[in-house]
Amino acid sequence: MPSRKKRNRKRFGRSRKRSEALLLSVIQKLDINYRQDETNKDEIVLMFLDKEIERVIREMKEILDIVRDKKLEERSLDFFVYDLVDVANDALYLYKQREDNYIFYESIHRWIGEIKKQMLKLGDDESNMRSSENVEDDTYVVGLDEDVKMLLRKSIIGGGEYSKNILIKGMSGIGKTTLAREIYNHPTVIERFKHRAWVSNSTNFTMNELLIKLIQQVDPHNLHTSSLLENMDNRRLRDLLRQHLKGKRYLIVLDDVPKQMHLTSFLEALPYEVNGSRLLLTSHTTHMNLTLGNEDVHMMDCLDSKHSWQLFLKTINHGNKLTGEHKFPKTLELMGKQMLRKCGGLPLAIKEVGKQLAEKKVSEGIEWEQLLESVDFGSTLKLLEPFYHKLDPKLDSCFLSMAFFKENTTLRAEKLAQIWFAGGVVSRYNYQSYLDGLINESVIEVKEKRTEYRMNVVLHMLSIQKAEEKLGFEILRNGGNNRPSQTPCHHRVIICSRDKFNYSTDQDTHIVSLFFHGGGYLDTRPSYWKSFEQLKILDLEDFGLKILPETIGTLMELIYLGLRNNYIKELPQSLGCLGNLEVLDIAQNFMVEVPDIIWEMDSLCHLYLSDVIIRKPLKIQTLVFLETLSYISVDNWTYELSGFKMLNLLKKLGIEELDGNSDVSKLFESLADLKNLKHLVLRGYRFISMPCLDELHILQSLKTLKLDGLLGRLPTSFPPYLESLTLVNSCLDEDPMPLLRKLPALENLKLQNAYTGQQMVILHDGFPELKVLCIEELWNLRNAQRGKGAMYRLEKLEIHNCPHLDIHSGAMACFKYLVESKNFVARIMDSDLISENFAAEMMNLNP
C-alpha cells in the first residue's frame, strides 16, 4: 500500500496538472476571442479594449509559468486558480460587450497582480499571505455608542428597504472591526436579520474561500460539505450563495476586505431585493467596485480625550495582574492624560500603551511616574506595519514626506502639493490624485474644508520611522549634530528652543529639504547657508523668525521658501537672486516691507502676501508663470493694467483693501481678461463697506468666490458657473438666500457673520446642486424655512455659534427632513452658544 507521503505527492501532481489545464484553457479562450474579433465599433475604444485584454493574457501567462515552476500546495493552488479563471471571464465579458470601463479593468488587473504576488510567496512563507492589517482588540469598547446609533438608524435598520452596501472606513486600529462587531451582535440586528454571516480577511484571502465561508454560514442545514464546496469554481459558488439568500433578509459582514479584491461578480451574486438586506464591509480604503450608487460610507473618528482616558483606565486596571494598591493612581490623572495625547485618540495605541505599562508595573515594579515618562511606541508602530505595507506604492514618497511636518498640525493642500513637486515626488499637475489617494487610504483626514488635512500623531510617528529608514531623513534638536549615523542626509528637520541656535555644517551639501520647527532666534554665519548647495525646500513657517538673513540669496537651487506666520519686518534684497524660486510664502507677517525685487524672480508660480508695505508698485506683469497671487491691494493691482494680460496662467487671485473709493469697474475689466482665473477672493475692511460688486458676473470662468468684508447688498448676479461661495463678515440686512438659491451650479455655501436678520427662507426648488452648507456666527437667526424640493442634494450641514436657532422656531422644518432622509453628515458646535434642544434634536440618532 503506498505511503501517505506518496499519495499526497500524486494528489499534488494531479492538482497542479488540473490547474495548468484550467489556466491554459482560459488563456486560449481569451486569445481566440481577441484574435478572431472583427468589429465596426469606435476605433479608439477598440484600441483601449485590445490593450486591456492583451495585458490580461500576458499576466495569465506569467502566472501559468509560476504554477509550472513552483511547488505550490494543493488547496491554496485551487483557491487561486478559481479566482484567476473568474476574473479572466469577467475581462472577456467586458471585451465582448465593448465595455471601456477603466475602473472595472483596473480592478481586474489589481486582483490578478495581488494573486500573482501571493502565489510567489506561497510555499516560501505562507503566513505572510494570511496577514491582515486588522489588529483590533474589542475586549474593551469605549466611545462607539453614537456610531452604533447612527449606523443603525441611517443605514442598517433605516436607509430604506432596497439592498444596500455599507462601508466602515478608517485607518488601522481605529475600531472598524469593533464597531462592526457591535452592530453584528446588536439585539435589534439579531431580531431583524435572521440570516447573518461574518467573514474576516484574517482567515480568508481569495474570493473562492470567501464564498465557501459565506455558504457554510447561510446554509442552515449544512447540505453542502466542505469537500463538496471546495471542488466548485467561483461561478457555481455564487449561484449557490444566491440560491441560499434569495427571498431572505440577510446581513453579511466582510471584515478587513483587501482593497485589491475584485468584488464586481460577488456583488452581482447577492440578491437585490426589496427586503432591507445589507452588506457591511470594513476597510481602510474605498473599493473600486463599490461605485454602484447604493452605498453608505461611515468614516471612523479617533476617540476624544474623555473616551481615550476611559479606554486607558479599562485597559490598564482590568484583565491585568495589578492588585488594588498597584492600580493606576488617580493622583497621576493629569500626567496620564498628557501622555495619552501622543496616542492621538487611536484605540490601538491607547490599548498597547496601557498593556505595556501594566506589564512593566507587574514585572519590574517601576514607579508610575517613571513609566509614564518612558512610554515606548515601538510595539504600536510595529502593529501598524501591515497598514503601511498595504498602501499603494505610488503613495509611498508622499507618506514618507509627512515626516517633515509638525505632529498634529493642519496642512494646506497647496503647501503639500508645492513641497511634493519641489522635492520631485509628484509632477506639477497631478498632485490631486496623490492627495485623493492619501485620503482614500485613510492616511490623512479632511478637516473643515477639503483644502486642509491632518495626519494622526501615531501614524506620523510611523512616517518618521520609515523616512529615517528609507529616505535619508533626520531630526536634529536645536540644530546640533545628534545623528545616529554618518550616512548622507537628504531631508532634515531642526527643532529649536528659544535658546541660542547651534548648528553643524557636516554633510549639508546633500540636503534637499530643510524644515525648522519650534521657535527662536536664527543666528547663523554666512557659511551656514552657503553649505546648502542642493537645497530646494526651506520651510520656516510658524517659527517665530524676526530677521531673514541676507545670505538667503546664496541658495541658488531653492524652489520653495515658506516664511508664513512669522515676525519678519523686511525682506532682504538678496531674495531677488533666487532665480529658480517658484513658491514664495510671506503671508501673515504683519506689515512686512517688500523691496522692489519681486519682478526679478521670473520663475515664481505662487506668491502669497498679506499686510505688506510696498514702497513701489509690484511689477508682477513680468511673472508670466504666476498661477497664485494673494493678497495684493486693489490700488496696486489697478495702478498699471497694461501688462496683466500676460498673466495667462493665473488661476488664484486675492485682492484686498477694497472700499467705497475703489474703482471696481476697472478691476473687473482687467480680471475678465484672465481666462484661466478660477478662484477669486475680494477682501475689504471689517467696518468699512465694500463697493457695489454688480459686475462680478462678467467673470465667466470663475468657480470659487470668497467675499470678505461689509456689504451693503449682494451683487445682483454672480458668475454663471460658480461652484463655491463664501460670505464672511458681510453683515447683510436682507436674507441672502432668495438670490443665492438661483445659482445653478453652486455646490458649497458658507455664511459666516454674513446676515444679521432673524429669518432665513430657502424657497421652492432652491439650490439644486448644493452639497455643503455651513452657517456660522449668525447671531440673530431664529427661524429658517425650507421650501419643497430645496437643497435636495445636500450631504453636509454645519452649524456653528447660532445661539437663537431652535427647534421651536421652525428651523427643524428646514433641516430635520434632510438629516433623516439620507446618508447625511451634520456637525453641531459643542458650545453653550447653541441651543441644547436644537443640538439634541438634530443629533438624536436613537434607532
Q: How large is the average pLDDT for residues 108-123?
A: 83
Residue 823: predicted pLDDT: 47
Which run of H or E residues covers position 236? helix 234-245
Q: Strand locations in 91-220, DSSP E?
A: 164-169, 195-200
Q: How far apart are CA 77 and CA 82, in angstroms?
A: 9
Where do we find the cell 492624560?
337
Preceding amide of 685 cis, omega within 30: no
Task: Choose from 8-12, 136-140, 784-788, 829-833 the range with maximum mean pLDDT.
Answer: 784-788
Residue 825: predicted pLDDT: 54
Estimate the crossing angle of helix 74-96 against helix 207-218, to 10 degrees. Answer: 100
Which residues, at least 6 apart from 382, have a Cβ–Cβ distance to it below 8 Å?
none
Is pLDDT at 175 greater than 90 in this prediction? Answer: yes
Residue 91: closest CA among 77, 73, 116, 111: 111
Greater pLDDT, 267 or 582: 582
What angle is formed at CA 447 by the lines to CA 405 and CA 334, rounded to 5 degrees? 70
Under the banding of pLDDT at 50, 70 and 90, the label for residue 812 is very low
* Adjacent-strand bridge partners of 295: 165
Residue 320: closest CA among 275, 286, 351: 351
Q: How far apart are CA 248 and CA 686, in angstroms?
A: 62
Greater pLDDT, 538 or 523: 538
Cell numbers of 825, please? 453628515
Is pLDDT at 831 greater than 90 in this prediction? Answer: no
Amino acid at 807: I
As a whole number of Å, the end-to-end CA separation of the chain is: 65
| Contact indicator for 711, 689 with CB cutoff of 8 Å | yes
Range with lowest mean pLDDT among 386-390, 477-481, 814-818: 814-818
Which run of H or E residues covers position 254? strand 250-255
Q: How far apart are CA 706 and CA 750, in angstroms?
A: 9
Residue 633 three-state SS: strand
Residue 797: predicted pLDDT: 85
Greater pLDDT, 574 or 795: 574
Q: How far apart are CA 641 and CA 611, in angstroms?
A: 22
Where do we find the cell 421652525?
810
Tell me how far CA of residue 680 lies from CA of 51, 631, 704, 832, in angstroms: 43, 10, 6, 35
Q: How far apart are CA 820 and CA 472, in angstroms?
A: 51
Q: How far apart are CA 333 and CA 550, in angstroms?
A: 49
Residue 11: predicted pLDDT: 45
* Adjacent-strand bridge partners of 708: 683, 728
Range with lowest mean pLDDT among 31-35, 542-546, 673-677: 31-35
- pLDDT tens digits for 727-757? 999 999 999 999 999 999 999 999 999 999 9
Residue 620 backbone zone (phi > 0: left; psi -120 to 50: alpha; other: beta): alpha
Greater pLDDT, 624 or 252: 252
- pLDDT tens digits for 329-353? 888 999 999 999 999 999 999 999 9
- pLDDT tens digits for 12-27? 455 677 888 888 988 8
- pLDDT tens digits for 440-453? 999 999 886 568 89
| Contact indicator for 663, 639 with CB cutoff of 8 Å | no
Greater pLDDT, 98 or 558: 558
Is pLDDT at 642 greater than 70 in this prediction? Answer: no
- pLDDT tens digits for 404-448? 999 999 999 999 999 999 999 988 778 889 999 999 999 999 886
Q: Strand locations in 567-614, DSSP E?
A: 583-585, 592-593, 606-608, 612-613
| Contact indicator for 698, 723 with CB cutoff of 8 Å | no
Length of the chain: 847
In this structure, the number of other CB atoms found within 10 A of the CB of residue 70 comes to 14
Residue 842: predicted pLDDT: 47
C-alpha gyration radius of the chain: 31
Cell numbers of 304, please? 476624544
Is pLDDT at 668 greater than 80 in this prediction? Answer: yes
| Contact indicator for 183, 214 with CB cutoff of 8 Å | no
Q: How large is the average pLDDT for residues 184-201?
A: 94
Greater pLDDT, 258 or 457: 457
- pLDDT tens digits for 306-326? 999 999 999 888 766 666 667
Estimate the crossing angle of helix 74-96 against helix 43-69, to 10 degrees. Answer: 170
Tell me how far CA of residue 353 lies from CA of 356, 456, 461, 589, 691, in angstroms: 5, 16, 15, 41, 59
Residue 472 backbone zone (phi > 0: left; psi -120 to 50: alpha; other: beta): left
| Contact indicator for 799, 829 with CB cutoff of 8 Å | yes
DSSP string across 392-458: -GGGHHHHHHGGGSPTT--EEHHHHHHHHHHTTSS-TT-HHHHHHHHHHTTSSEE-SSTTEEE--HH
- pLDDT tens digits for 275-305? 999 999 999 998 876 654 557 889 999 999 9
CA 587 to chain centroid: 26
Convert 29-53 to b/e letters by CB count within 10 Å (16 or more is b): ebeeebeeeeeeeeeeebeebeebb
Residue 130: predicted pLDDT: 45
Amino acid at 313: L
* Adjacent-strand bridge partners of 165: 279, 295
Cell numbers of 420, please? 511634493
Is pLDDT at 846 greater than 60 in this prediction? Answer: no
Strand order across the beta sheet in which 411-412 lies: 411-412, 452-454, 445-446
| Contact indicator for 630, 653 with CB cutoff of 8 Å | yes
Residue 50: predicted pLDDT: 84
What is the pairing mode between strands 445-446 and 452-454? antiparallel
In this structure, the number of other CB atoms found within 10 A of the CB of residue 69 comes to 8
Greater pLDDT, 177 or 785: 177
How does the average pLDDT of the chain come out, rounded?
84
Residue 335: predicted pLDDT: 93
| Contact indicator for 681, 659 with CB cutoff of 8 Å | no
In this structure, the number of other CB atoms found within 10 A of the CB of residue 391 comes to 19
pLDDT-above-90 percentage for the chain: 47
| Contact indicator for 731, 710 with CB cutoff of 8 Å | yes
